[in-house]
Amino acid sequence: MNPMIRKEMNLRMRERRGWILPTLYLLGLGATVAFAYFTATERSLGRANIQGATVGAATFLTVSYTQLTLLLILVPVFSAGALTIEKEQRTLGALITSLLRPIEIWNGKFSASLLFVGLLLVTGLPVMALALSLGGIGPIELLVSVFSTIVIVATVAAMGLYFSATFRRSIHSTAVAYGAVIVLAVVTLVVFLLLFTHWSSTHPGQPESEMPRLLRVPLYLNPYYFLTVSFGVAAGISRFEWSICLMVYATIALAFSALAWRSVERSGEQL
Amino acid sequence: MIQVESLTKLYRGQRGLRSFDLVVATGESVGLVGPNGAGKTTLMKILATLSRPDSGRARINGLDVVPHNETVRKIVGYMPDVPGVYQDMKVREFLLFFADAYHLPSRGRKDAVEDVLRWSGLSDQAQSYVEQLSLGWKQRLVLAKTLLHGPALLLLDEPATGLDPLARLELRRQLKELNRRGVTMLVSSHILSDLEDICTRIVFIAEGSNVKHPQPVDGAPPAADESVYEIEMLPAPQARDVAAALPGVEVLYWSETSLRLALEGGRERIAAIVTALATAGVGVTRVQPAAGLESQYQRLFGARA
């Protein structure tokens, strides 16, 4: 096992946030499920029969979006400070001058970030299973959405690690990582809406599906769109769109990883 | 062991190294001395493969440190000026982690850790958290970590910074023992008395370049300099002017209670100077030749307090 991964996991679980964050995460997720469940059943009051499938689907969607939002908030905390903390406590030099390769150092940090996110996802599984038990969604939908969430989170972690390798201080790398998350989650949506409005005004009466794919590029960068199209994969509704999002995210993750390896190799200059 | 040729590394066109040369033979213990910003740390970082030179060459055991950085890291143990530690690790755990990081075979890994624990006197504290150690013990821990993979060359950048006198003496003893065992050392320090004790040769550096200086005979550490004297006295502001007015006397340093003088002619002149000071009403309490390296340093760099 890569000693970096072992060290990172040991130290992370020793920190107070090692148990506080999963607790808060689970509380947040549980509260959301309760809210979604009661909202869905409340709406159905007065109807002859409450459809479990409707409640289940509503709960599942709410939990999925909430989970993604929470993870987008948490991942920069783990990843963007991962290498800057080594610079700040002056241990990066010792790592670089050991026989660990830059890719091993990066891999240790990346895997530890993802493993912690994995822990959060696993702690959230019972909540997801509750939605599953209500019906309306199948295990394939659940798996694809969880897989998509992992890809999104891994991409954000790769970006955070790159910023961490580039900047000297955690505060700067974390701020830039959150900036990148905002660009992905909000700015892409705003840009798409502007493009869509412009296209609609120049092509009146044409359905949205006719919009050229090139104009949809900002949407493929948006994590919520990626998650949304993942819900339709099992039914074959949005398989192509999902595949494009997957490729876009995989490319971003690989590009930032390669840049991060390079930065780790050269980070001795910053010490 | 070390061959450095015309090594240049500048930071935004300033400071760093400018065409620096150095040769260190196997088994030598060389002190690197120079004022702040002279380029000592830059040289150490290039040799430790942390930094790349702009031009010139640095070789360790014949291997260029840039293309052969991985092989060089097996040979070199580097202790930076402000070494970092993982505060929330236990001492043994810290060493085991670095044993893994140095890819020590799983069989010898624990033995290597126990060896350095014993050698550094940390065995009793192996289960303590690193944050509980004093600065001196942390320094020992970092040195122990640096020795885990049995490096043939130690690069020590200000190893005694922040240590109390006893810890410094212990560090000196450890470094001399390592050198006796055949470990080659390049030590940068501002504590010149430490270097005099540890090193077999001193190299001066200023503004990134070599500074020419008299070489000690047969690699012996520089002895006390008989032409530079330190004079301690009762508070006497007039002492500097009295000394400076004497022929063949250069005042290297002065304060209200001490003088450091370079004398032409050496010790035969000192009696005349003491007489002159006494005549001017200066109460001399102590006269002694200055330590060799300190006086060399003052002459080379014109230090003034």
CB contact under 8 A, B51 and A99: no
Higher-pLDDT residue of B194 and A48 is: B194
Beta bridge partners of B262: B228, B250
Name the residue of chain A whose CA is nearest to B81's CA.
A90
Q: How far is A138 from chain B (nearest CA, A)?
A: 44
User: Which residues does chain A have within 8 Å of residue B89's beta carbon, measured at their own beta carbons?
Assistant: 7, 10-11
Torsion B134-B137-B143-B149 (CA) sign: negative
Q: For A102-116, B215-229, B243-257, which range has the lowest pLDDT when averaged over its residues?
A: B215-229
Torsion A233-A239-A242-A246 (CA) sign: positive
pLDDT band, residue A220 (cuts 50/70/90): very high
Residue identified by tokens 């995460």 is A25
Name the residue of chain B whose CA is nearest to A95's CA.
B101
CB contact under 8 A, B50 and A14: no
User: Which residues does chain B have within 8 Å of residue A269's beta carbon, measured at their own beta carbons?
Assistant: 50-52
Domains of chain B, earliest start first:
2-210 (3.40.50.300), 226-304 (3.30.70.1560)
CB contact under 8 A, A94 and B84: yes
What tens digit of pLDDT does each residue of B70-93 get?
899 999 999 998 888 998 899 999
Q: How far is B148 from chain A (nearest CA, A)?
A: 10
Q: For A41-55, A58-72, A183-197, A224-238, which range has the lowest pLDDT when averaged over its residues?
A: A41-55
Prediction ipTM score: 0.81
Question: What is the Cα–Cα distance from B277 to B104, expressed in whole angstroms?
Answer: 65
Which string of DSSP letters, residue by residue, matches B183-241?
-EEEEE-S-HHHHHHH-SEEEEEETTEEE--PPPGGGPPPPPEEEEEEEEESS-TTHHH
Q: Interface of chain A against chain B, CB under 8 Å?
A: 3-4, 6-7, 10-11, 14-15, 86, 89-101, 268-269, 271
* The predicted structure's pLDDT at residue A129: 79
Residue A81 DSSP one-character state: T
Torsion B141-B146-B148-B151 (CA) sign: negative
* The predicted structure's pLDDT at residue A157: 95
Name the nearest CA neighbour of A70 among A16, A121, A19, A12: A121
Give the global pTM: 0.79
CA B113 centroid distance within chain: 27
CB contact under 8 A, A268 and B103: no
Name the residue of chain B whose CA is nearest to A97's CA.
B73
Pairing of strands B258-263, B225-233: antiparallel
Name the residue of chain A whose CA is nearest to B142's CA.
A94
Residue B129 DSSP one-character state: B
Q: Interface of chain B against chain A, CB under 8 Å?
A: 45, 48-52, 70, 73-74, 76, 78, 80, 82-89, 93, 97-98, 100-103, 142, 145, 149
What tens digit of pLDDT does each residue of A121-171 get?
888 888 777 777 877 788 888 889 989 999 999 999 999 999 999 999 999
CB contact under 8 A, B50 and A90: no
Percent of chain B with pLDDT over 70: 91
Q: How far is A160 from chain B (nearest CA, A)?
A: 22
